[in-house]
Structure formats: structure tokens, C-alpha cells
């Protein structure tokens, strides 16, 4: 049996599971773990397979990462007592950043009943067919330099120009552009933090947390109706 990814956990209540991006780890959500736990949530942040103390997986694909996340969600839910399971209806709030948000989308596509609300930040809403060429290239570009012995600082020098350079963005970003114009799926919400870079939750934790908590408060009743 494959070992579960390692994770940090603080607080009790509805579970918010946070998935970091490339080069991150569970500490990437340290401000949110403390804030959310203090407000009545069980705040959980994982180490993606291959990060921190989480064992890597083979092959390293979005499908495999999603399956690891699903196993963790099921373990977290299974560890709750009957009263807790009744409160959250056997599902979690899933928050993903960057590559972690891509994993979150794959989780919801495969096991939607495990997620009652989905929060995506700093990511692309589309990454091709499951484990398609775009996905393989995305992972390969970000792991090959590390496999070759380069540091994350070296990797940033290569990746940042590619991500923001002319013609380098994936076609799926067009949907994000439409979201900025107010065209997005029914029931969803789009928000920006002007002047803030890619690591929104660390660069502006108070503003980021306020957006997340506002969304959770506004959708709490809807989530309860869906669960029951």
C-alpha cells in the first residue's frame, strides 16, 4: 500500500485541505493554517508527493497526484467521528495554488463528491486531456532541472520568463482572461488582488484570507444544502 502524503493539521471543524505549488511545501500555507484553525476549521496543508517528507510517486503525473490527494482526503474524513462526518457531509473544502490547483481540478473531476467547495488561485483552468502532452511537458519542464542538480533559484531563472513571456502561456489561460471580464461558470466567483504577485497567500495573507473566508461564509448555506 502506498504511504499517504505527509501533512500538517491544526484545529477542528470543517476540513480545509490546501495544496501548494511547485517548489512549495506545507509551510507555504502557514499563515492560512493558523488563521483558519483559529476560526473553527481543521486546516490541513499537505506536502505534495516528492516534497518534504512525502514519498515521490511513479509515474509522476497529475492522475497520480490526484489519486494521492484523494487517498489523503479519504483518510482525513475516515478519521473523523460520526458527528464530524455528519457536519461536513463526508467532503472537504479544497484550496489549491498554482500546480496544486491543477491537482485540485483533477481531484474534483475524478471524485466530485469528496469536495464541497473548490478554491483555485494563481493557476490555469485548463491543462489538456488527462495526462496529455501539455501536462507531461508542464511537469517535465519543472522537474528536469531539479533532477539535474539545479537549485530552485536556478529553476526560477528558467521558468519565470517562460511563464510570462510572449506566446508562452497555455491556451487554457484564455478562460482565465474571460473570467476577468466577468464570464465564468454559474455559481462561481472571481477575484483579484491588484499589485500582488504569484504567491498571493504569502505576499498578502490578510487580503487573501479575507477573500477565502468571505467566499466560505457566503456559500455555507449552499454547501449544506448540497451535502444534505
Edge-to-edge strands of the sheet including 92-97? 7-10, 42-46, 15-19, 92-97, 115-121
Stronger pLDDT, 12 or 160, i.e. the higher one: 12
- Mean pLDDT over 152-167 rounds to 44
- Mean pLDDT over 3-27 rounds to 93
d(CA 184, CA 172): 13
CB atoms within 10 A of CB 9: 17
pLDDT greater than 60 at residue 9: yes
The whole-number pLDDT of residue 189 equals: 78
- Mean pLDDT over 22-28 rounds to 90
The whole-number pLDDT of residue 136 equals: 67
pTM above 0.95, yes or no: no
Reported as a pLDDT band with limits 50, 70 and 90, residue 23 is confident
- Mean pLDDT over 207-221 rounds to 88
pLDDT digits 0-9 by tens, 63-88 = 899 999 999 999 999 876 666 666 66
CATH of 7-128+172-227, one of 3.30.70.260, 3.90.1150.10, 3.40.309.10, 3.40.50.1820: 3.40.50.1820
- Mean pLDDT over 134-161 rounds to 59
d(CA 132, CA 140): 12
Sorted by where each begins, the domain ranges of the chain are 7-128+172-227
- Mean pLDDT over 188-215 rounds to 87
- As a whole number of angstroms, the longest Cα–Cα distance in the chain is 53
d(CA 35, CA 43): 9
pLDDT greater than 90 at residue 167: no
Stronger pLDDT, 173 or 109, i.e. the higher one: 109
Amino acid at each position: 500500500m502506498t504511504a499517504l502524503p505527509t501533512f500538517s493539521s491544526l484545529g477542528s471543524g470543517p476540513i480545509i485541505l490546501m495544496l501548494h505549488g511547485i517548489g512549495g511545501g506545507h509551510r507555504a500555507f502557514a499563515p492560512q493554517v493558523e488563521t483558519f484553525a483559529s476560526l473553527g476549521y481543521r486546516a490541513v496543508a499537505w506536502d505534495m508527493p516528492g516534497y518534504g517528507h512525502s514519498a515521490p510517486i511513479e509515474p509522476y503525473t497529475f492522475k497520480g497526484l490526484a489519486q494521492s490527494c484523494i487517498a489523503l482526503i479519504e483518510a482525513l474524513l475516515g478519521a473523523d467521528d460520526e458527528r464530524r462526518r455528519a457536519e461536513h457531509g463526508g467532503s472537504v473544502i479544497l484550496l489549491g495554488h498554482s500546480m496544486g490547483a491543477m491537482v485540485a481540478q483533477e481531484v474534483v473531476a475524478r471524485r466530485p463528491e469528496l469536495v464541497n467547495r473548490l478554491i483555485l488561485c494563481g493557476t490555469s483552468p485548463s491543462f489538456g486531456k488527462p495526462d496529455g502532452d501539455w501536462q507531461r511537458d508542464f511537469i517535465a519542464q519543472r522537474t528536469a532541472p531539479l533532477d539535474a542538480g539545479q537549485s530552485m533559484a536556478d529553476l526560477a531563472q528558467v521558468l519565470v520568463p517562460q511563464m510570462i513571456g510572449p506566446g508562452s502561456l497555455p491556451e487554457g489561460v484564455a478562460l482565465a482572461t474571460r473570467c476577468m471580464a466577468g464570464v465564468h461558470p454559474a455559481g462561481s466567483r472571481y477575484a483579484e488582488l491588484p499589485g500582488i504577485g504569484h504567491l498571493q497567500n504569502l505576499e498578502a495573507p490578510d487580503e487573501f484570507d479575507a477573500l477565502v473566508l468571505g467566499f466560505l461564509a457566503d456559500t455555507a448555506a449552499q454547501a449544506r444544502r448540497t451535502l444534505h
